[in-house]
Amino acid sequence: MSRRIPQEMYEEILANLQDDEVSLQNCTLVCRAWLPRARHHLFHSITLDPSSRSPRFKELIRSCQDVAPLVRVLELRGRAWARRGWWDPENGLPANLMWPTLPGMQNHPSRRDSDVLETLSWLRGTFTSSSSPSHDPVAAISLPNVRSLRLDEVTFNSDTAAFLAAAFPRLESLTLNGCRAMAFASLVDLMQSFLLLRTLRLLSAEWLPLPHHAEHALPRPTDTTSTSTTVPDLVNLEFTRDIFVQPVLEWLSKVEAHKTVRSLKCSITTQASANALRAFLQASGPMLQRLYMTLSESRGPTSILEATQFTLSTCTGLERLEIQCSPPHHMPPSEHRSLSWVLILLSKVRSPCLREIRISIASAQLSRLNLEGLDVVLAKDCYGSLEHLTFILDSIRAGGGGRDKVKRTLTERMSTAHAQGLIQVEYA
């Protein structure tokens, strides 16, 4: 069959099936020529957890050595997942293990070193060959071409960080979601263990406080002696509201990570986080090109900006600014914050390179935004290079005639920006 179908054509067919595991498995049986490309898509992204899917996948890559180099994106889940791996020919029984979870930011009365030991045991059992010593992380490399790693509900320490760094030496993107470090120093070790790391996303993570009798054993977050001289050249950073961002940004500033960061996504919820972000942006200067931020989940966004004298005037290389205005879904309308902070923030911009501003806001909240004031701010000379002012609205509430109303509102209340052809509307 491969002789009758050009290679470019069947590769395009397989590319369109990259998210359809069943069809890709069937394609591996069509002919020998289709097998390599079908495997490329089948094994590009893999999810493993402590259930039977891990040992079965280990057996697969042991018996078929062509598979391991194909894995580029890996997700490790600290708890057993109900859905078995598609490569698993049998229904494996779930492992009787209790793995740590992080439902939200909360106080933990005690350290759970046993969680770390279970995690390390699982990782070593999955990524160490039977002939390799369990204490030798360098011999544990089974998936050497992994570029992106996501950790979900994993408890880790410095030993875990060292093992992961040895197992995935070419890692470029790291995401933590629902993870817990035994100390801030463990999080630091993880961040600086991957020398090729370019993207760091901390979606939900925390570190446990040290017992009073052991506070001297590990450095505090602000102690520069905890850092190493080998720090990856981070380019993209993302922090959500579930991250105590102050010590992280302080550490990144101390190791001069701001010199390489080009894209930053973060949420300001307190004055402490605003101060830390202001210092980081000031240190970044013209290096930062893309900034995404929100204060919609803070209790007093306007007062936070005023109290901290928050400004974007030092970000003279900023090319794209995204602002999230929509309140959290769980917040009742009676608790919605004032949107005056948006104008305060935009009035502090001084970048001659700014090309695009994107504002995400619920269509029902659009009338609460001071559009006339926004029109005046954007008419200033410092916005002379602005090409697009894009409003991202929810499509359900703005459907039908609602979209015409939105367009009419923006045209009437932002006449200057409309005359310049800046206004665009997208529906999420």
Instruction: Compare 81 and 373 and report the one with higher pLDDT.
Output: 373
Judge whether 99 and 80 are in contact, CB under 8 Å: yes
Instruction: Compare 339 and 106 and report the one with higher pLDDT.
Output: 339
Predicted confidence (pLDDT) at residue 225 exceeds the cutoff of 70: no
Q: Which amino acid is present at 357? A: I
Predicted confidence (pLDDT) at residue 321 exceeds the cutoff of 90: yes
Domain ranges across the chain = 7-42, 47-261
pLDDT for 196: 95
Sort strands 388-393 and 423-427 into parallel, antiparallel or unpaired.
parallel
Could you count the other beta carbons within 10 Å of the beta carbon of residue 306?
Answer: 12
| Residue 215: Cβ-neighbour burial (10 angstroms; 0-12, 13-18, 19+) | exposed
Predicted confidence (pLDDT) at residue 422 exceeds the cutoff of 80: yes
Residue that the structure tokens 């001659």 belong to: 352
Sort strands 148-152 and 173-181 into parallel, antiparallel or unpaired.
parallel
- Tens of pLDDT, residue by residue over 186-224, are 999 999 999 999 999 999 888 877 554 444 443 444 444
What mean pLDDT value characterizes the chain? 81
Q: State which H helix or E strand residue 114 sits in.
A: helix 113-127
Handedness of CA 221, 102, 233, 126 (dihedral sign): positive
Report how far Cα 116 is from the mean position of its chain's Cα atoms. Answer: 23
Residue that the structure tokens 């050595």 belong to: 65
Longest dimension (CA), the chain: 74
- Half-sphere exposure for 19 (CA within 13 Å, toward CB): 1
Q: Tokens for 272? A: 């402490």
pTM for the full predicted model:
0.82
Buried b (16+ CB within 10 A) or exposed e, 396-418: eebeeebeeebeeebeebbeebb
Judge whether 90 and 184 are in contact, CB under 8 Å: no
pLDDT for 328: 63
The residues, any chain, with a CB within 8 Å of residue 374's CB and separated by 6 or more, are: 342, 343, 346, 414, 417
- Tens of pLDDT, residue by residue over 255-305, are 999 999 999 999 998 999 999 999 999 999 999 999 999 998 888 899 999
Cα–Cα–Cα angle for 66, 67, 68, rounded to 5 degrees? 100
Query: Which neighbouring-strand residues pair with 390?
Result: 358, 424
The residues, any chain, with a CB within 8 Å of residue 145's CB and separated by 6 or more, are: 68, 69, 70, 71, 72, 170
Q: What are phi and psi for residue 216, nearest 5 degrees?
A: -80, -10
Through-space distance between the first and last CA atoms of the chain, rounded to whole angstroms = 43
- What is the C-alpha to C-alpha distance for residues 189 and 135, in angstroms, rounded to an integer? 18
Can you list the alpha helix ranges (DSSP code H) found in 213-339? 245-254, 271-284, 301-308
Q: Estimate the crossing angle of helix 184-193 against helix 245-254, to 10 degrees.
A: 50
Report residue 111's pLDDT band, with 50, 70 and 90 as the boundaries.
very low
**Quick check: helix, strand or coil at residue 331?**
coil
Q: Give the single-character DSSP code of 342.
A: H
pLDDT for 252: 94
Return the closest-CA partner of residue 258 out of 282, 241, 292. 282
Cα-based torsion angle of the residue sequence 313, 316, 320, 321 in order, rounded to the nearest 10 degrees: -10
- What is the C-alpha to C-alpha distance for residues 75 and 175, in angstroms, rounded to an integer? 9
